[in-house]
């Protein structure tokens, strides 16, 4: 289903928490060190939203590059920290954003009933994040991936979900394109946004547009761990599309 790889949110200062050591480790892509630094500070400030959303973020990013049960455990930890953040501060943009990200990954391995529940909650959370901060590129990127996934859901699957499970939101490739273009306009140097738009175009049989977007994505910097395998995938997709005319 989605995603999500990824994702960069601007670190916010917090006078009660020394987040600098964890942030420095996170931006060096040293996730175990970042987790240790944030969790050590959390002992002193257990309800601090700035620490809680950062822990959700780093667990998502670590889970993206970890396979199997260990990766699933990272996503469950991310979800717990994001929910604690929102419980502490319901207006935390980052809390809602990273909860949506964790739910997207959890949906990948869930059964149909849980997948519908998780994706509906994801949709609610990402819309809350955007309502709180219309300049949140990460939330638009998640929303774009969500709509791309919906674009790949067939009529029969939607019908089954509607009859048995209460349905899934409307939307598809067009809505995904709009959301991802918004994310790119807000943060043009984030590889994930460009990559997801390129893959959406491939799903939509718009190969020339996919090629152009993926070529741009291939020039962007590595910011999170998943960008390394993502760059390899971009090169693979470009090779499969052949040379530009």
Q: Report pLDDT for 117.
A: 84
Q: Please answer whether residues 193 and 202 qualify as being in contact, where contact means their C-beta atoms are separated by less than 8 angstroms.
A: no
* Whole-number Å distance between alpha carbons of 146 and 189: 21
Q: Which long-range contacts (CB under 8 A, 24 or more apart) does 116-123 make?
A: 116/161, 116/165, 116/166, 116/167, 116/168, 117/165, 119/1, 119/146, 119/149, 119/168, 120/166, 120/168, 120/169, 122/146, 123/169
Q: Measured in whole angstroms, how far is the alpha carbon of residue 80 from the centre of its chain?
A: 16
Angle at 102 (CA atoms; ends 116, 219), nearest 5 degrees:
115
Per-residue pLDDT tens over the stretch 112-139? 678 878 888 999 999 999 999 999 999 9
Residue predicted with more confidence, 46 or 161? 46
Domain layout of the chain by residue ranges: 20-241
* Whole-number Å distance between alpha carbons of 69 and 176: 30
Q: Report pLDDT for 243.
A: 57
Whole-structure pTM value: 0.87
Q: Enter the CATH code of domain 20-241.
A: 1.25.40.10
Q: How confident is the model at residue 111 (pLDDT cuts 50, 70, 90)?
A: confident
* Closest alpha carbon to 241 in 221, 218, 212: 212
Q: Report pLDDT for 5.
A: 40
Looking at every residue in the chain, the average pLDDT score rounds to 87
Per-residue pLDDT tens over the stretch 230-241? 999 999 999 999
Q: Report pLDDT for 16.
A: 52
Has residue 8 got a pLDDT over 70? Answer: no
* Whole-number Å distance between alpha carbons of 207 and 230: 18
Q: What is the DSSP secondary-structure string of 141-193?
A: HHHHHHHHHHHT--HHHHHHHHHHH-------HHHHHHHHHHHHHH-TT-HHH
Per-residue pLDDT tens over the stretch 57-91? 999 999 999 999 999 999 999 999 999 999 999 99
* Whole-number Å distance between alpha carbons of 208 and 66: 33
Q: Please answer whether residues 99 and 86 qualify as being in contact, where contact means their C-beta atoms are separated by less than 8 angstroms.
A: yes
Instruction: Report the share of the chain in percent with pLDDT over 70.
Output: 84
């Amino acid at each position: 289903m989605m995603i999500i790889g990824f994702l960069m949110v601007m670190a916010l200062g917090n006078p009660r928490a020394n987040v600098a050591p964890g942030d420095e480790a996170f931006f060096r892509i040293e996730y175990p060190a970042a987790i240790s630094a944030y969790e050590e500070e959390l002992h002193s400030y257990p309800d601090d939203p700035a620490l809680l959303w950062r822990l959700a973020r780093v667990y998502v990013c670590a889970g993206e590059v970890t396979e199997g049960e260990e990766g699933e455990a990272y996503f469950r930890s991310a979800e717990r920290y994001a929910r604690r953040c929102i419980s502490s501060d319901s207006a935390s943009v980052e809390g809602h954003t990273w909860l949506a990200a964790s739910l997207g990954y959890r949906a990948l391995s869930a059964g149909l009933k849980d997948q519908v529940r998780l994706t509906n909650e994801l949709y609610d959370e990402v819309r809350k994040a955007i309502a709180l901060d219309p300049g949140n590129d990460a939330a638009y990127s998640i929303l774009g991936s969500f709509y791309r996934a919906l674009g790949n859901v067939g009529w029969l699957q939607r019908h089954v979900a509607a009859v048995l499970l209460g349905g899934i939101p409307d939307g598809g490739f067009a809505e995904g394109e709009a959301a991802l273009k918004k994310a790119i306009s807000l943060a043009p140097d984030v590889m994930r946004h460009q990559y997801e738009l390129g893959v959406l175009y491939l799903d939509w049989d718009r190969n020339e547009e996919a090629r152009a977007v993926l070529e741009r994505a291939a020039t962007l910097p590595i910011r999170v761990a998943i960008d390394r395998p993502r760059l390899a995938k971009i090169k693979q997709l470009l090779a499969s599309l052949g040379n530009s005319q």
